[in-house]
Structure 1
């Protein structure tokens, strides 16, 4: 289960369990594998990014596979007149060039395909070198061009409802041609080649602007964005924070990993709540004086700057920003506010950070040992029994956590590290998650399952060593409607006879379970085994008692329904029990007699081979013998 690439980790002190919600108390330790921020965010885990190969392109055009029954005129026109470059999704999406527009790629979806998802179009990882012209997409709201080779913003025509445009990880050098989409509210241009902020004049409704990991040297041309709430300029080449006047709605500013040595003008942002300035070159307190005038500031990150190691650092920041709740990823406590700065305190703090830098291999080994202790505790207390004892997350003995990201799509979570799923950058890119040494109940509790539902592209989850032991637990994953692959390892539930059938029946969207394809035989078997149970669970008024305030006819109907459900339930359960007993009895008989049966079979076969004529005559005689 261990990935080859170990890209980042964080360590949670034993005895303090981190919270899954942002802002909760945590003791996160960062490994100095600095990498670009992927999205606007609060706390950073500094999880690195490893470049993965581009996904395979679409199926090449094969005329014999194109539907000739489509009645849509535009579809037929493109088939007959255009140069078809490729088709996708069972010929539902066409990439073509029109004779009158040479060199311009046109994308057209069948009406049936467009109507099934009219507001979203994903064209990521298509090896596109240009933005195609989209036909018939007037209802489109979300457009995704991630991980292509696009060098120019263009062809955003006839998209009157577009609010989300994602061009992350392309080769765009200049911001332009956005005046045709004035409705845009989210613009994602991270990880491109942009060196200047410009041509945003028409985007007055913009809510999120992400320009991280570019080559920008100056903040400019944004003062007109009066509705902008989130601005991400992390991992650029900015030296001074200024020119932010006019951003009256801005609540989050991310400037991590720049060249900043002076901060100005953020005091003119009345709603600013979160500022991230980690890993810059700020070395003087006076260059941060404007922070004291940020009346709404609740979270600040300055770690990785020269001033962070200065003796007066914490006390100076807290004296200037009295309303802070979090500083450098830590919740501010009364002790921190009252502590007087001393040289000894600075030394202890430095030592604490150094001690927490544990190699990922060792950290996972620590988590494994804690998991073994936790499983022993669960067995000893009988926590997996039908009547389970109530306990809090803090009772869990797994207090260490580690997380890794491989490429942009695969997230590995070990132990007490579930808070990584709260990060929006992963919710937008991750398609596969591995959870190991994490109790399944913690994964599917309300807060965590709600965060998992936000992973738009999540199609596969791997559970390994999670104390997953019942179908009731498994059923809580039904809210993850995009899943098509589920892997369960080292968990008791997978050893039950009906586990695969239960998963097939309750998760009809799955096409693969434990890396084995789901076929029609699996589905038929699952229906036979579970449809009656499902009928019971879905029956209206199941065992529901009559209510005094209802009329007599209604009460009588309740009683009849309850009686039918009880009788059916008892009969069905008795039938299952009798069938199971019969199977067990047959197995016992077979176990006792199989040696005799095989011996008799061998003897009769040997006899027949040695005396074929005699055996044949006896057989014919027995068949022709009159009754």
Structure 2
């Protein structure tokens, strides 16, 4: 690193090189990750660094001509480098400057006896390496413009050097300038360069290079001292965002492309910078939300998989018990087994630990995207109890359930039709739809136009006739699409042919009181819609009548096909068990009481003959004295009053 801050060329040196533009930098070895290439792709004559070069050329031409005839380059047998020889007259006339341009040099010649040189010119040669000038420690200006130099080196001893012109070479890295503490001007245009932190940079000219994106020079934004920069002639300068992007990232600039930056331009850049920052913050926020959503869904999916594995293990255990038992598989200890296995029994400790390790907060997700409400995980069903705004609730037309047991969904269907009256499309993914009877539960909704059942996690889709059963059971909804396929009239006819007899058989086997109850529910619906339609406009009434026809148009035979969830079945089972227990206790009490009465009757029969004799004897003794008996009776009557 070059300590301190560079100064511009001044005094006699500045006058000698006619230096109107300068580049002040501090250099260091740069990492490969910040490598940026700039290639000269246009005529460099208008490049600011080249303007400086033209000034130097005019200066040399006016002072000493292009090349003096008094300069000779002599080959040496002891070295591969030519040796420079100047006449005494040349040394006296131009004692502090030397021009060796256009000499077709491939190496720097050995310059002896010229330690007093201050200006040295090697323009337009073929030199590949800076050599043989370490003894010229009084050099102020060194010009290697238009050569083939690939690396900045051999300059460590030139501590007085202020101007170094290396434009139009093959340099790829700014390095080895640590000792040039007096360096004020550095021209590197037309090279392939690697640019990193330049904390002392004041003026930088990058005109007419192949810079196509700001990212290529974004490292310059870290320079707090940069005040003047040019990008004209580059593809980046043609972009609409070019100016405000540069000013946003380089607020300390005073000039851009040789034009002074106004306060209005700074203000506009600042406003745009704030907008860009807000946009970035919003983008970052959205990215975080997307990542959180992804992690939550993954968490819900893991919990779902663990739950399914748990149920599978319980089912396997139940099958083993059934296979080992000699009894009827439907009867154990005289009680009927539930159609659903009880969720009890051994649970693998690893699964248990995994379930407990899941965060409660991240085990469900509720998302509203446009007109779609997506629910992930059983915990999301609780969102139906929250106070939804009328606008949001009315906007929802599609409700999607993922990683939720269908039996749990059935319990909230009444809330669904109340909270989201315009919901017409239901989607089920990973909901354990395993049998046709489960579709019966959807009949209690207000209306369904579309139904989507994802094959993943819903084995019922593997049944060939499942779509026809849905159309038959929910025919009063007049559904339009199932799994994205249009429903045709032929589909409705086929559904009636396949399952019409099923509804007839179900209704004929149903007890009379249940049929009456079903008919009563239909009448209640009709009455309710008649009440709701009072006081409404005729057009609205006609539309609602169409909906009411769908709702109350459910055939009585089809209404007998209902679905009982596992929880409801278990509740009924518990209720039946309680009733059985009560009946058993009641009968036992009756039997006990009857037994006691019978025992008393038998004892009475044994004692009755003796008791009868004693009763007759007491009666005879009591009435033996008629007067005394009458007085006793009168006294008893008097006491009773």
| TM-score, normalization by structure 2 | 0.30
> Between Structure 1 and Structure 2, which shows a larger proportion of helix residues?
2
Task: Mark the structure with the bigger radius of gyration.
Answer: 2
Q: Which has the higher contact order (CA 8 A, sep 6+)?
A: 1
